[in-house]
Structure 1
């Protein structure tokens, strides 16, 4: 019951966005742009500024990089097997390689593993945020239907303010530079509104999905990558790194989380198969109500 109460708010926000879009027919691109350019940089700054660096970062950084590399390889293979389009392959990477370790994963870990597990989850959230806002943005830009070279993709990333928000937060945290209270209060307000806005965008995008644009073989491939292969690969990596049991359990459960909501925003912004990415987020989140408790039961 407690787990359902943790997940239920996510679905309520999705429902608000879904119903709002059906009734009001809003401009999703404008709202997505506002969240990506005006709000997400403040959340990134806050995340990196508040979480102090320690030795656990090293192990979790290695874990995240190895997991991401493996999932990108699997996603590329799945993309080539189901479609020859670059946009579809990039969509597989967005939906398959990036998990919702933040607004979904962190509270679940707190409930399942307590305060120590929660601290591990926060560290992974920070690292995943950095990877998603660099590597994830690269694949979103690369898969844009407007096309573009490697240079074009890199230029698009460098234009994203979220990258500089992350760098600024990490730099000030390392340098122990205090942020004035009146400024930080504003940052906190904007940052706190970012995740709900992203979830609203996801709900709105789901209201516009056309079933003909989402093939079952593609959706099935994403489901297998995100909910099956990801935790299996995570288990192998934790064994390879010889991590302690609690840290291993936390990382494996987080690896089994559904597709990150931010990937929908990236897909909408760059027109990288937004229907496939959005629907993958919805379906993996729905199924995770069953799969995540099973993972917790097995590893706790």
Structure 2
């Protein structure tokens, strides 16, 4: 049985960060836009680089990262094609971005550390890297296309340092280079900073939300994709792999967990940077995060039974 209590620690921590962001914007007049820029162009790339170099990427791990990147990209592209028929351009772009990602890091990683053995946590981390790589390449492009031309969107992607952080980490690994210990010690502060500021931006954005920002159609679409489509895709992925390979339980659980986490906080971060309805994204992210402790145990129990892992 999955203990819902195991999810309450990560939930309350994340909600406390959201509350700090709300207070900072309300009472200190903190502007979240420069923080979003800082996250995208500095903190995220350094966090990503540190994670890759520490993980010791093997061909097998990188194949897992590539597979999750491809899956996330495909999900986003398909939802984007459908969303454009029912939603305005900016909301459709934001929905497409959110469709390819989830709160695999801020929320999912603490849960993975509770539910999975060390090998499973490592596998989960390389899944997270694939999703993160999607966020700052294909996902960023789809979001930018909500109000920019193809050329402008591609230019914005080429300016994202996370791509170059990924290539630099692969270069270090391929050449057998070691990052100096002093540098790695300095980079150790970035993952926690990434989580703190990423969740605070949600609170900062919510502090500006009015009742008219509540868009039931957009929020329903986000919830349907995150808690409807993604668990189904994760289930089919595990069943498909089991049909052809002897799939390790740790990998199967890591894939299922990716499929049931709430919406990604980076939905708000990217929306803030591009100016595409961050208020609507913040509401959807908060609602799915609040629902996560109730839904995740239910989903995981059911998926574990359906895949024969339990």
Q: TM-score, normalised by structure 2?
A: 0.88
CA distance in 1, matches of 2:69, 2:226: 14
Residue in structure 1 matched with residue 53 of structure 2 by the alignment: 49
Look up the match of 1:231: 231
Contact 1:40-1:194 at 8 Å conserved across structures:
yes
- Report the equivalent of 1:295: 299
SS at match of 1:82: coil
In structure 2, the CA distance between the partners of 1:59 and 1:164, relative to structure 1 (3 Å rule), is closer
Distance 2:233 2:159 in 1: 33
- Structure 1 residue 283, shift from structure 2 partner: 1.0
| Alignment counterpart, residue 113 of structure 2, candidates 87, 94, 110 | 110
- Give the corresponding residue for 1:209: 209
Q: Deviations over 1:127-184 (max 9, x none)?
A: 11111111122122222xxx32111101011112222222212221232211222222
Deviations 1:111-136 (A, max 9, x none): 12322321221110111111111112
- Kindly report which structure 2 residues correspond to 1:113-192, keeping only aligned pairs within 5 A, or say none: 113-143=116-146, 147-192=147-192
Tell whether the 8 Å contact from 1:76 to 1:92 is kept in structure 2 after alignment.
Answer: no
In structure 2, the gaps of 5 or more residues are 305-309
Instruction: Count residues in correspondence.
Output: 295
Aligned equivalent of 2:79: 74
RMSD: 1.9
Q: C-alpha distance in 1, partners of 2:44/2:218?
A: 29
d(CA) in 1 for partners of 2:116, 2:205: 34
**TM norm structure 1:** 0.91
Residues 68 and 127, structure 2, Cα contact 8 Å, conserved in 1: no
Matches of 2:99 and 2:295, distance apart in 1: 16
Residue in structure 1 matched with residue 267 of structure 2 by the alignment: 263
188-197 vs 198-207, which moves further: 188-197
TM-fit CA distance, 1:206: 1.5
Match of 1:282 in 2: 286
Which among 5, 16, 21 is matched to residue 20 of structure 2?
16
Conserved? CA contact 1:60–1:123, under 8 Å: yes
Note the C-alpha offset of 1:36: 2.0
Give the Cα separation in 1 of the matches to 2:278 and 2:225.
18
Q: Once the 2 structures are TM-superposed, how far is the Cα of residue 13 of structure 1 from its aligned partner?
A: 0.6
Question: Helix, strand or coil for the counterpart of 2:116?
Answer: helix
Assess, with a 3 A threshold, how the Cα gap between structure 1 residues 129 and 174 changes in structure 2: closer, same or farther.
farther
